[in-house]
Chain A
């Protein structure tokens, strides 16, 4: 039977993950497709998954009264989106919308959580990877806040 394991193995997020862990992760993975314009997750909804982008782009958006939807970041092939499943209250902070045909692998948070609790080695691998992404996003957000191109 063909599994998603070889696809996950090639994704930068899983680079260097031991094969037996990859096998465990694959058990929580499913393939998904979205059309351009489709909502992948909605701000405020329960966050049960995170997504590995294989192909296409999506935008993170927030809704501001009077201004409508404001887009704050584009994510694309190679990116990972979503860590709200890791922390209570497990709700999406942003809306994710496909801006082109999008192919992702969805990873079930509850399934992974259980496996990480059973094997802390796997949990550590995940935390390392997510902290890295969080640090990158935090730095990018700080720079965005600096509004680098404004006139002093």
Chain B
């Protein structure tokens, strides 16, 4: 078995929340030119810990560093942990270079989930921008597993270019569902792209949902989330029924170090998923 660096890896599972558990990479796949998914299983076997849609793990690339990454797999599956990551800097790039058979350390799952259970009986509008589809995919899996509990289910997804669209096959399968409305748009495209061109925020105005009985879940760059929530409110969705997932730098991931503090909240413990009405004040304030 190959190791990524020279980790002091133990195969026994520690109960100390700060000690990562070693996982082995079973499959590595590029979803776009800078985004990849890793399928991981615990070293020594066994199930992955149960998780809720929207939760994240602290992922440790041995010898490089530890970062928060959302879980992007199906919460009903305990045999495989999936993380989809965009290579943007030191740790994520090192992670992108890992090969099948190598190891990563994982602590978690942590954080507050998407309100998929509270949303029962309502229309669901999921709005994702770029890599923001990864943390929302588990919510889609869960909602589809209990489809009859929800009203209309709408997925609005925006990417930079057609080449950046994540989970293409899955989006096509979802689009084929008669009880699911999936709209994908890109910011720029050549003539080969048959789909829509424009911002994801522009899809909201005509998306088929009842604003008075809707739960919206939004994930993407912060500016995109701000404008998405504005459009949602214009349609008449109450900000108490809009949820966003926030990103802040993290260290402990469990509410101890204060690294991720955001106003009074800790993103790692009180979030990353927040009710928009709870955080809007901070989101529109600079340098929080």
Contacts and interface: CB of A to CB of B under 8 A. Distances in A.
A151 to B, nearest CB: 5
Contact of B206 (A59, A72, A78): A78
B130 A140 contact: no
Interface string A52-73: 0000010100000000111111
Nearest to A141: B199
A73 B198 contact: yes
A135 interface: no
Contact of A143 (B34, B201, B205): B201
B34 A74 contact: no
A143 B194 CA distance: 22
B88 to A, nearest CB: 5
A18 interface: no
A84 interface: no
B129 A72 contact: no
Contacts of A70: 188, 190
Contact of A68 (B131, B191, B197): B191
A68 B192 CA distance: 12
Nearest to B196: A74
Contacts of B191: 68-69, 71
Contacts, number: 69
A42 interface: no
Contacts of B185: 74
B197 A72 contact: yes
A144 B199 contact: yes
A57, A149, A150 pick with most chain B CB within 10 angstroms: A149
Contacts of B189: 71
Contacts of B86: 151
Interface string A112-152: 00000000000000000000000000011001101111111
Given A71-B197, A76-B206, A148 B188 contact: no
A88 B160 CA distance: 34
B196 A148 contact: no
B230 to A, nearest CB: 9
Interface residues of B, number: 32
Given A70-B190, A76-B206, A143-B223, A149 B197 contact: no
B199 A143 contact: yes
A140 B187 CA distance: 10
B224 interface: yes
Contact of B130 (A69, A73, A149): A149
A120 B260 CA distance: 56
B160 A150 contact: yes
Interface string A19-34: 0000000000000000
Interface in A60-111: 68-74, 76-78, 99
A78 B205 CA distance: 10
Nearest to B92: A151
A140 B193 contact: no
A148 B198 contact: no
B40 interface: no
Contacts of A139: 227
Nearest to A151: B88
20 contacts: A68-B190, A70-B188, A71-B193, A73-B198, A74-B185, A74-B196, A76-B196, A78-B205, A143-B224, A143-B227, A144-B198, A147-B160, A147-B187, A148-B187, A148-B224, A149-B129, A149-B131, A149-B220, A150-B160, A151-B88
The 3 closest A-B pairs by CB, nearest first: A149-B130, A149-B160, A74-B196
Given A147-B187, A149-B129, 5 more contacts: A68-B191, A71-B193, A74-B196, A139-B227, A143-B199
Interface of B: 34, 86, 88, 129-131, 158-160, 164, 185, 187-191, 193-199, 201-202, 205-206, 220-221, 223-224, 227
